[in-house]
């Protein structure tokens, strides 16, 4: 671009014709996409449509790794149409397979009919791949947004664009009724602003790949209505030029259907279980024993106006003390790693949490991480999990405790219910009337303390 301006200015004179200047500007605008400059468009939360009529397999049929499929006019912003290149990036134990009793003329790469065996309420505008898994497996897709009409059938590329303010919904994260067929999705965390998801889903981060957030179903049962609240996720991204999404099943085998909707989505019939993330996107918090100290570690995917972190410590999860502070990184859209050393008593349980402070004085607390003591502890079992009515806590090594006590806590450490017994090694707690969602169970067996995470369904 600089070379072009130098070339023009070299021959420029006060007497140059305005028509020549306009032609030069037009040339710059024409070459702009070819030179690799990305134009930015505000999608303003408007829906994208991956219509079957606008689909073209330009390399393969979409079902093999490396295949490319182009969807034209997925959205028009002002007068500019936007296309999308969908690339099949990777497959493991996955075969594209139509649902049983499929509508005629449909394909498994993107099933376009409203209904089929085991499903209803699909839309042609969704991107809806249907699979059969032979074991735990997945498939990764890349969605590259380009200027309408810019796709080159030889290079299989187009003029990339940046789109702002985009909703992505994914539906029907459940199972097929077979044991262990719990489905999952993985999304990138960069530029992710808010997340909402249903009560049948849990979130996690893979510390080996902390730039991804994973949503996995608690249930292996199948729900026919694909947009049911309990099995859906809604994400809002600040901006995207492309996005890689992984769909899969954690185990088992058989059918698995996925439905991606780049729009505001269907209305929620019930309030979402979670509305996140915080101004700081915390990827993980953990602690471990080191020689003579305990190391508290955490990472953030992005930060916005982050002043500092307070590191809080407790021996029981109730009474907390500040043990230090670590400065934040203000506003940042890349991963930041933090560490703090604590020289306290390592022979007892240590609870750690963070209090994040914005520059404007707002604060947010993290979940609690429990570091077990450096002494041998009895084996504690908490079951069933997930649980619907009552949990049982036992010490299966047969040792009779002088006192066995259990506390049911929220993920923020608030005690909801307590129970205790003397001279026994088994204790039950009725949680039938407790709302659905994740909780912690703190088990105190004589002088030993352990924390267990459960799901109330």
Mean pLDDT of the chain, nearest integer: 85
**Residue 376 to residues 283, 348, 373, 424, 447, Cα–Cα distance (Å):** 30, 11, 8, 20, 11
pLDDT at 436 over 80: yes
Indicate the fold that domain 381-456 takes in CATH: Immunoglobulin-like (2.60.40)
Range with lowest mean pLDDT among 162-166, 408-412, 427-431: 408-412
Query: How many secondary structure helices (H) and strands (E) does the chain include?
Result: 2, 29
**Token duo for residue 244:** 């890689």
pLDDT band at 276 (very low <50, low <70, confident <90, very high): very low
DSSP state of 439: E
Please report which helix (H) or strand (E) contains residue 40, including its range. Answer: strand 39-42
Question: What are the residues whose beta carbons fall under 8 Å from the beta carbon of 268, sequence distance 6 or more?
Answer: 196, 229
Instruction: Check if the beta carbon of residue 356 is closer than 8 Å to that of residue 312.
Output: no
Q: What is the mean pLDDT of residues 230-250?
A: 93
Region of poorest pLDDT, from 52-56, 160-164, 449-453: 449-453
Cα separation, 170 vs 263, in Å, equals: 10
Q: Indicate the pTM of the whole model.
A: 0.58
pLDDT value at residue 25: 52
* Of 4-18, 136-150, 425-439, the least confident: 4-18
Identical fold between 280-371 and 381-456? yes
And the tokens for 194? 């808010």
Q: Give dist(CA 297, CA 199) in Å, integer.
A: 29
User: Per-residue confidence at 274, pLDDT binned at 50, 70, 90?
Assistant: low
Output 447 or 169, whichever has higher pLDDT: 169
pLDDT at 402: 66
Query: Which pLDDT value is given to residue 78?
Result: 93
State residue 10's pLDDT score: 41
Q: How confident is the model at residue 87 (pLDDT cuts 50, 70, 90)?
A: very high
Residue (of 49, 47, 45, 43) closest to 78 by Cα position:
43
Task: Please state which of the ranges 119-128, 200-209, 245-254, 353-362 shows the lowest mean pLDDT.
Answer: 200-209
Residue 285 C-alpha from the chain's centroid: 17
CATH 3.10.180.10 holds for 280-371: no
Domain ranges within the chain, ordered by starting residue: 2-31, 39-276, 280-371, 381-456
């Amino acid at each position: 671009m600089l070379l072009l301006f130098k070339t023009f200015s070299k021959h420029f004179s006060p007497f140059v014709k305005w028509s020549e200047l306009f032609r030069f500007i037009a040339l710059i605008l024409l070459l702009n996409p070819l030179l690799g400059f990305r134009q930015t468009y505000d999608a303003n939360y408007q829906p994208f449509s991956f219509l079957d009529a606008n689909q073209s397999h330009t390399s393969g049929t979409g079902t093999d790794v490396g295949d490319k499929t182009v969807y034209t006019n997925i959205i028009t912003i002002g007068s500019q149409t936007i296309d999308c290149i969908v690339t099949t990036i990777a497959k493991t134990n996955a075969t594209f397979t139509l649902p049983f009793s499929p509508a005629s003329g449909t394909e498994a790469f993107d099933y376009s009919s409203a209904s089929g065996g085991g499903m209803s309420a699909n839309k042609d505008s969704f991107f809806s791949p249907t699979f059969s898994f032979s074991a735990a497996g997945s498939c990764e897709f890349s969605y590259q947004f380009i200027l309408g009409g810019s796709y080159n059938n030889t290079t299989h590329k187009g003029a990339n664009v940046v789109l702002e303010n985009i909703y992505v919904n994914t539906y029907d994260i459940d199972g097929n009724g077979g044991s262990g067929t719990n489905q999952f999705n993985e999304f990138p965390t960069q530029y992710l602003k808010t997340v909402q998801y249903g009560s049948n889903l849990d979130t996690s981060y893979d510390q080996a790949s902390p730039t991804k957030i994973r949503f996995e179903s608690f249930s292996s049962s199948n729900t026919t209505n694909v947009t049911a609240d309990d099995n859906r996720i809604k994400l809002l991204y600040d901006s995207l030029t492309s996005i890689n999404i992984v769909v899969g099943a954690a185990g088992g085998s058989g059918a698995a259907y996925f439905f991606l909707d780049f729009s505001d989505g269907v209305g929620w019939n019930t309030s979402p279980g979670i509305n996140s993330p915080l101004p700081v996107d915390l990827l993980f918090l953990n602690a471990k024993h080191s020689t003579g100290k305990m190391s508290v570690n955490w990472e953030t995917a992005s930060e916005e106006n982050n002043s500092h972190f307070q590191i809080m410590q407790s021996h029981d999860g109730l009474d907390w003390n500040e043990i230090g502070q670590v400065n934040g990184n203000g506003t940042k859209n890349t991963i930041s790693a933090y560490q703090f050393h604590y020289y306290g008593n390592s022979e007892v349980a240590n609870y750690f949490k963070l209090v994040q402070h914005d520059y404007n004085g707002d604060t947010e607390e993290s979940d609690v991480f429990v570091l077990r003591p450096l002494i041998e502890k009895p084996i504690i079992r908490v079951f069933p999990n997930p649980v619907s009515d009552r949990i049982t806590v036992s010490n299966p090594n047969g040792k009779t405790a002088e006192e066995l006590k259990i506390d049911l806590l929220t993920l923020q450490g608030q005690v909801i219910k307590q129970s205790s017994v003397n001279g026994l090694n088994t204790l039950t707690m009725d949680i039938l009337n407790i709302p659905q969602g994740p909780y912690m169970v703190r088990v105190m067996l004589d002088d030993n303390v352990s924390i267990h995470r459960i799901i109330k369904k």
